[in-house]
Chain A
Amino acid sequence: MANSVVTVTGLRVVRGGRDVLRGVGFEIPRGSVTGLLGPSGCGKTTLMRAVVGVQLVAEGTVEVLGRPAGHPALRSRVGYATQNPAVYADLTVAECLRYFAAVLGAPAADVDRVLTEVDLADRAGQLVGSLSGGQRGRASLAVALLGSPELLVLDEPTVGLDPVLREDLWDLFHRLAAAGTTLVVSSHVMDEAARCDRLLFLREGAVLADDTPDGLRAETGQADLEQAFLRLARAAA
């Protein structure tokens, strides 16, 4: 696929003597929201780390924007938000964002933009350590948005958020995708699957399905994506 932003082939990752990813391969097209779904421990985070280039890989290749994952030229073009908020608890939200913006070489005005995007503008002067868990997660998401990266890798960005905020963030993801950004968003909540353009179902370190939500519904004959996942999982076992 000429237009693919991420190309993974035969990816195998071993952690703690155990195969966490067992020969995973897929492509992610530009300007889409790809949902990475599967139960806890299925290898979602490891796969995302491999795409960002911080994961030691045993076998296979991960190519991002035409270069091997983790290539120095990619460092300002890929935004990554880890599952645990990677923000400094002893800085204010604005101080923290200003620091990461300076590291990325992003324009100073970006700080206000991303704060508005994650709905934290009114918390800019507050210490990160005094934010709620959900707010801290959004602060961490805001860092990933700095510098408008071409690829956004977001590990469970909507966890612990109230439904309204979750809705807002999904709107944001689709706006970004419409503007050409490619997003990979992980979740273990199946009801978020329907919001994605494409789905990667992951189970026990292998890709169970790689399709659009409608494609999966048609293939499994299930209207509900949770049921579709179950059917695929049973068929694979």
Chain B
Amino acid sequence: MKATVTARRVLTQLRHDPRTIVMLLLVPTLLMTLLRFVFNDEHAFSRTAPALLGVFPFVIMFLVASVTTLRERTTATLERLMTMPMGKLDLILGYAIAFGAIAVVQVGIATVVSVLWLGLSVVGSVWTLLLIAVLDALLGMALGLFVSAFATSEFQAIQFMPLFVLPQFLLCGLLQPRERMGWLLEWLSDVMPLSYAVDALTRVTRSADFDGTLVRDLVVVAGCVVVALGLGAGTLRRQTA
């Protein structure tokens, strides 16, 4: 109940900032379109596009979520909320619902445009593709909420993006198959949630089987979302020095 109230508040805040809404909804689609013409070849596009369909929203939601919550933390509004009957998890869930709703629309537009106009061929179910991509965006959001706890300024929050997101991008198997990396990097890749997200996206575009590996990938990504949200709520403090 307090979570839905908070979600509505976050969405109302965004509604007063139309430029941010337009960017949130269209930037991934724009990047997918750009990617399509970089390759200028549907086949090559279809090889890279599924992974990036997950990565772009992941990056954007990470940034937006970390900056928004940092703003709440550094202004007095968080302190005020913490003096009120507002559960920590309710607050974090409120953010999750609001950004989750945006992620669904954002990823939906990018997927529809990629499949219908950019020539992305999906052997598996488009719905599964959509589900995984939304989970990726939620993962970015949840990690962003969590790491914003460790940032004491906007400068730090922005730099957490390259620190937390780009290594996952480099190691997720998009640039180089994960099994061809050195053992240390492969192990790192194994513990990074984005690897499972990209693996799932690639699987669903190449095969119609909803097999055990795909289920494992989905469970890992969804599990990481839940853990990051829980940790994010855990970092909120009612009492400070």
Known: A54-B79, A90-B13, A91-B12. Is A104-B239 also a contact (CB below 8 A)? no
Chain B contacts of A90 at CB under 8 A? 13, 16-17
Chain B contacts of A84 at CB under 8 A? 75-76
Chain B contacts of A220 at CB under 8 A? none
- Tell me how many residues of B have a C-beta within 8 Å of chain A: 24
When the two chains form their complex, are residues B16 and A91 in contact, meaning their CB atoms are under 8 A apart? Answer: yes
User: How many whole Å from A66's CB to the nearest CB in chain B?
Assistant: 18
A75 to B82, CA, bound (A): 9
| Among B56-64, B83-91, B130-138, B144-152, the stretch in contact with A | B83-91
When the two chains form their complex, are residues A82 and B239 in contact, meaning their CB atoms are under 8 A apart? Answer: no
Chain A contacts of B81 at CB under 8 A? 103
Known: A55-B240, A56-B240, A88-B9. Is A127-B16 also a contact (CB below 8 A)? yes
A87 to B79, CA, bound (A): 11
When the two chains form their complex, are residues B76 and A55 in contact, meaning their CB atoms are under 8 A apart? Answer: no
Q: Which residue of B lies closest to A128 (CB)?
A: B16
Known: A55-B239, A86-B75. Is A91-B5 also a contact (CB below 8 A)? no
User: How many whole Å from B4's CB to the nearest CB in chain A?
Assistant: 9
When the two chains form their complex, are residues B5 and A99 in contact, meaning their CB atoms are under 8 A apart? Answer: yes
Chain A 131-144 interface mask (CB, 8 Å, partner B; 1/0): 00000000000010
Chain B 1-32 interface mask (CB, 8 Å, partner A; 1/0): 01001101100110011000000000000000
Q: Which residue of A lies closest to B79 (CB)?
A: A54
Q: Which of B59-106 contact A (CB under 8 A)?
A: 75-77, 79-86
Chain B 31-57 interface mask (CB, 8 Å, partner A; 1/0): 000000000000000000000000000
Known: A84-B76, A103-B5. Is A75-B85 also a contact (CB below 8 A)? yes
Q: 6 closest pairs, A vs B, by CB? A: A86-B76, A86-B80, A82-B76, A75-B85, A102-B5, A99-B9
Q: Which chain B residues have a beta carbon within 8 Å of chain A's beta carbons?
A: 2, 5-6, 8-9, 12-13, 16-17, 75-77, 79-86, 238-241
Given contacts A55-B241, A87-B77, A90-B13, 4 further A-B contacts (CB under 8 A): A72-B85, A86-B79, A95-B9, A99-B9
17 interchain pairs, CB-CB under 8 A? A53-B239, A55-B239, A55-B240, A56-B240, A70-B83, A70-B239, A80-B80, A86-B76, A86-B77, A90-B13, A91-B9, A95-B9, A102-B2, A103-B2, A103-B5, A103-B86, A127-B16
